[in-house]
A = this chain, B = another copy of it.
Amino acid sequence: MAFEYLTNVPLKQAQEEYIQLLLQNGFAAKTEMVAVQQACGRITAQPVYAHICAPHYAASAMDGVAIVAKDSFGATETTPVILQPEQFIVLDTGDPIPEGYDAVIMVEDLVKNPDESITIHEAAVPWQHIRQIGEDVCAGEMILGAHIEVTPAAIGAMIAAGVLEIEVIKRPVVGIIPTGDEIVQPCTDPKQGDILEFNSSIFSAMLRQWGADPIIYPIVPDQFEQIKQALEQAVDACDMVILNAGSSAGREDFSAKVIEEVGQVLYHGIAMKPGKPAILGCQGAKAILGVPGYPVSGIIVIEELLKPLIACWLQHGTERVQTATAKLTRPVVSSLKYQEFVRVRLGYVGDELMASPLSRGSGVVSSLVKADGILEVPQGVEGYEASSLVEVKLLSSVEKLKNTLVMIGSHDPLLDEIANLMHLEDASLYMSSAHVGSMGGIMAIRRGEAHAAGCHLLDTETGEYNIAFIKKYFPKGGVKLVRCVGRQQGMMLQKGNPLGIEKFTDITKPGVRYVNRQKGSGTRILSDYLCKQQGVEPKDVYGYEREELTHTSVAAQIANGSADAGMGIYSAAKLYDLDFVPICIEEYALLISDKAWETPMMQRLLATLKSKNFQEKITAMGGYILDRPGELIEIGQ
């Protein structure tokens, strides 16, 4: 069977053939009747015509009297006409015009006589000051065409026209079947080897945003018959089905075979990355999409292959995605074989939109939380060089991006707290931060990729922090250095210090598994310095090559028992309730690009550093020394 072998069909071709196949099989929207009040945002299935006129009766447009216009003919300033009480009726704005009457005289245009009659000095034009029947909409007129989204004002116009129920396009029902022996329902204390089933929750939220009704089915183990039964049931009940996981060609790949038994497989394997093992299947007009288990792959597959089907069903016009031109901060290497989707973080530095590629691991869902855009590298393109101008699909609005402070550099959990405080103080401001170590931060500022960078680089010659590095990398200036905090650095150890580690040199002890930070981070430079200073040979330290990117992840390895010691800051040790051997206090400062200095967001950042809220938060986290945060540090010549 051909589908057992992955195809490598170009995405665009797959999209087009898939929708063509479904349309040939009769793919079409269902419709339903809904109360007009519930129709906001829904799409009309048929044109809506006014049932009655609005207004549905002739009404006075003024406060005054209703008369028969003829009775007033001939009235002028010099030949006034007197109307007897039986010839007029007093009414207010909005009152219906009584049968037989056909004009309104405004109260200010008439004289009331003592005998209850009135005098008028100008003939009325028939139908003057009368709000005509159908002024707003006439019975039989089309209020909305077919396939038009219902707005609040349209709801008002329809009710005014006596239309209480309309035929709209039914939301397509999309079944989601999670499969896999190791998959478990979301919980707070999963066992070793359990994989929390969160894909369905992501997919459901996306589907609702696109106007579909998701149904999540129970998790099915990797058993052919059980998956087949679940799929048959879902295909019966739904308009489209997502079969999640098991779509790669590996040993647990039942998906393609199951889909082939229940319906047919158009393609198994698309020239896209992530998402290559996707399966495009159907049973008649019902789409069955086999989606890889890795969350990022799954998200991109349903975005590219299911969303167009839903848009077609809902008769949405082709929604153009917002894009922008951005400058790549680092090269992107891509395979010629696939169309690749690379998540990027975006930031306006000056007037230039800079795009920094994020982790490409398809299991890293947090990278999608951080992503502001997607860069598509077409099939047949090898990638782009750094500084290339590329077109990116925006996930955040340009306005939000313009108000986002981009911080790239040394990691500290306090950056998230600063971001939170800034945003609480001004809801229009955001901060995005990436952890690439102090040297990475310096480079990011040099490349114009970031507004600010946390750094704590020890000049091992002078024992001074940061200044030597800034002089070296910014010989012409262009940056400012701002005080942030003093941080307690030390050795994080397992709770209770079972291996009796007392000082740095103990990391060479037999049985001690060290976990290190990545090269270029300030903490790694400190470890390397301590090794040199105290005569420790890195090759004698078990795990010295094991690199983690943040203090927190070093702490997490120790807390979870996969390492015994690592350098890091006190607040991370405290967070994980680890033992801690203090080693030194270091200056953690913020390097700020002059280009960003005057922006409202930078000024807000500086204000936040000086705020009482910040001081309280930092004190609660532990291990920090506050020494005039927010003040400039003199760099000198």
Contacts and interface: CB of A to CB of B under 8 A. Distances in A.
Contacts of A498: none
Listed from nearest, the 10 A-B pairs whose CB atoms lie closest are A159-B198, A317-B428, A152-B205, A153-B368, A40-B205, A142-B416, A145-B420, A134-B556, A156-B202, A138-B552
A189 B134 CA distance: 15
Interface in A46-87: 47, 51-59, 70
Contacts of A316: 427
A58 to B, nearest CB: 6
Interface stretch (A91-99, A324-332, A457-465, A588-596): A91-99
Given A132-B557, A141-B416, A160-B196, 7 more contacts: A102-B513, A135-B363, A138-B555, A139-B576, A143-B366, A162-B196, A163-B188
A299 interface: yes
Interface in A544-602: 545-546, 548, 550, 552-553, 555-557, 559-560, 562, 575-576
A364 to B, nearest CB: 5
B365 A133 contact: no
Contacts of A576: 139-140
Interface in A249-296: 250-251, 295
A142 B417 contact: yes
A295 B463 CA distance: 72
Given A417-B142, A546-B126, A188 B160 contact: no
A189 B162 contact: yes
A196 B141 CA distance: 18
B145 A188 contact: no
Contacts of A201: 36-37, 155-156, 159
A386 to B, nearest CB: 25
Interface residues of A, number: 122
Contact of A189 (B52, B155, B193): B52
A545 to B, nearest CB: 5
Given A52-B189, A188-B52, A318-B427, A562 B58 contact: yes
B138 A550 contact: yes
A156 B209 contact: no
Interface string A390-403: 00000000011001
A427 B186 CA distance: 40
B193 A96 contact: yes
A134 B366 CA distance: 11
A37 B197 CA distance: 12
Given A160-B198, A202-B156, A204-B37, A56 B190 contact: yes
A218 interface: no
A381 interface: no
A154 B198 CA distance: 11
Contact of A155 (B139, B141, B190, B202): B202
Nearest to A319: B399
A54 to B, nearest CB: 8
Interface in A175-217: 182, 186-190, 192-193, 195-196, 198-199, 201-206, 208-209
A361 interface: yes
Contacts of A204: 37
A59 to B, nearest CB: 8
Contacts of A139: 552, 556, 559, 575-576
A127 interface: yes
B545 A126 contact: yes
A54 B202 CA distance: 16
B140 A363 contact: no
A251 to B, nearest CB: 7
Contacts of A427: 147, 315-318
Given A416-B141, A424-B147, A164 B187 contact: yes
A531 interface: no
A136 B370 CA distance: 11
A125 interface: yes
A337 interface: no
A170 interface: no
B133 A560 contact: yes
A148 interface: yes
A364 B315 CA distance: 29
Of A164, A203, A206, A369, which is in contact with the most chain B CB atoms at under 10 Å from its CB?
A: A369
A320 interface: yes
A38 to B, nearest CB: 9
B369 A423 contact: no
19 contacts: A94-B195, A126-B545, A132-B557, A134-B557, A136-B363, A138-B553, A139-B552, A139-B559, A141-B550, A143-B366, A146-B423, A153-B202, A155-B201, A157-B368, A160-B198, A162-B187, A162-B188, A316-B427, A318-B427
Contacts of A190: 52, 56, 162
B366 A136 contact: yes
A553 B139 CA distance: 9
A75 to B, nearest CB: 16
A413 interface: yes
Nearest to A125: B545
A525 to B, nearest CB: 21
A445 interface: no
A157 B201 CA distance: 10
A152 B206 contact: yes
A151 interface: yes
B188 A155 contact: no
A205 B150 CA distance: 10
A132 B547 CA distance: 10
Contact of A196 (B92, B140, B159, B365): B159
A562 B571 CA distance: 82
A464 B142 CA distance: 31
A423 B147 contact: yes
